[in-house]
Structure 1
Amino acid sequence: MKAACRSIRVYAERLSVASDRLICHDVATGLSLSLLLSEGAAGNRSLAVRDNDLARKSRSIPLSQR
């Protein structure tokens, strides 16, 4: 039972971090947050893809416009 509780807690922490990333991505791209959250529920792989995409886009934006 303790392992199950720990697993749920870890998942909740990851979801919280994922939500923060998705909100930042939503602001940067103008995409629907609900769409991003539903995609984020599919797993960390999709988050990594979005993080890489966001990082690539932010590198192409001049610092004065960030």
Structure 2
Amino acid sequence: MWTVYGPLTGLTLENVTTNQSFRLRDSVTVPAGKALVIDTRPGIKTVQLDGMNAWPQMTSDSALWPLRPE
């Protein structure tokens, strides 16, 4: 699970090993004090901004990959 705190506008995360990426649309702002939570656990693929569904705010070519446990 990824948690990113604002303030920020747009966001791109890239896996350079698999060449996959996911991107929050450039027009989307995460205000200061708010959190964007991206859950990529196996079987779960969600994006929430301040507890609300933010999946529609991701670009259509986004691919959510799971983080490997260490």
Q: TM-score, normalised by structure 1?
A: 0.28
Which structure ranks higher in relative contact order (CA pairs < 8 Å, sequence separation ≥ 6)? 2
Structure (1 or 2) with the greater strand fraction: 2
Determine which structure has more spread, i.e. the larger CA radius of gyration: 1
